[in-house]
Each structure stands twice: as structure tokens, then as C-alpha cells.
Structure 1
């Protein structure tokens, strides 16, 4: 069985600003589950609807050195329409009222997200054959 991980900044139904969310939220459902284990990882934004955030299950956390500081990385999970979604939590980066702000701060928080997503793989016990990002 091939394992595929979609890593993106947004995915329907959790957070949407454009077409990326539509693709990341719908494409994983198109894979034949007999041959593919497809999962998705996005940031856990505070602006995700509370009803969805309340259904997320805490998996684990760790600390990661990033820009000379020891930063918290939480991992939550929610299975939606048969697809496992993982959420990278760090309130310092993802506490705003919208997922994107100014490009300078976005650069730092999405570099953090990219590194945290890869660092979370051993913690969640998922070793993808393909990382789509």
C-alpha cells in the first residue's frame, strides 16, 4: 500500500481562502483506499470553526529548535469523510483571525509549519512514500 501525505496551508472543510483548500480537501478522497493510505496535514488555526476544533483529538506534542528557540509543536487529529487530517498546533503562529497576514510573518510561520510537519512524522508513526506539498 502506498502512503501519501498532503501538506498544505489550508483544506476544506477546516479553512478556506481559495482553490488550494478545495483541492486538498477533496483530492485525497479520490484515491482507492485499497491501494493508498492518504492523509492530510495543515496548521491548527484558531480561526477554524470552534465546532471542528472541538472534535480534534490530541495525539502528542514535542519541542523543536526553530530560529534559536525551543518551540512547541502540538499534533491533533480528526477523521473527516474517511480521511485522516493532522493539525500542527502552535498558538504563537496560528492564533490570528485569518490564516494569512503580512508576507513577512507568513514566511516565518510557514517555514515553521513545513519543518514541524516533517518532524511530526515519526511521532504519528506515518512514513509516507510521497509528500505532496
Structure 2
């Protein structure tokens, strides 16, 4: 009785963590956490916890537990498949996450200009901080 309570509490806590993770828009991680969280519940429902003491019987709860274990396995494998597909897209040049802004790779002096010409056309002091202000506004500061 105590093992069932503990395993059910662990499963409920894991599903709660998965819900919070999904709320943070990390669905792949949330799916994997839910898969792991359902394992103890499935083991309790199948009677695998008490299997050391009793034989496996044909009970509806036992077979529902096997269904929960199957659901857990399905969630885990589907999250792995999505993760591999994303890794494949990133390797072939699909969606590649970039840590720098797209305009950051452009040369600061422009094409064909030399450094002295750029110094002659320097911006006034008010315009020097416009880039910084735009970044701060973008982040809500």
C-alpha cells in the first residue's frame, strides 16, 4: 500500500513538472518528463511492484497499467524522434539557431570605405546611443 502511494505521488509530481515545463514552451522536454513520470504509475498499476510477492493475474487494472506503460514509451520515443529530426534539420542547414543578430555580421565600415572616410562622416553624439536605446527597448528596459 505504501509503495503504491509513493509511486503515485512521484508520478503526479513528475506530471506537474512536465506541465510547468510545457508552460515554458519547452514541449520536447515536457514530453520526455511526462514519459518518465508515467513509468512508476504504470509499474504500480501492472502490479510489478508487488510481483515479487504475487503472481501476475488477469486484472483490468493490470492491463490498464500496461497501457500506461505503453503510453509512456510512446511519448518517450516520439520526443526522441522529434529531437533527431530537429538535429537533422540543423545539420543540413535548416533552422540553425544564431547567437548573434543578423546585422552583426555586416562590416561596420561598409563596403569599399576606408577608416579615415568613416571617421569624417561620424555620427553626432545623439545618434551613437540610438542602437543601444533600440536594444534596450527591444528587451523592455
Shorter-normalised TM range: under 0.3
TM-score (normalizing by structure 2):
0.25
* Larger strand percent: 1
Asked which structure has the greater CA Rg, the reply is: 2
* Larger helix percent: 2
TM-score (normalizing by structure 1):
0.26
Q: Name which structure has the greater RCO, CA cutoff 8 Å, separation 6+.
A: 1
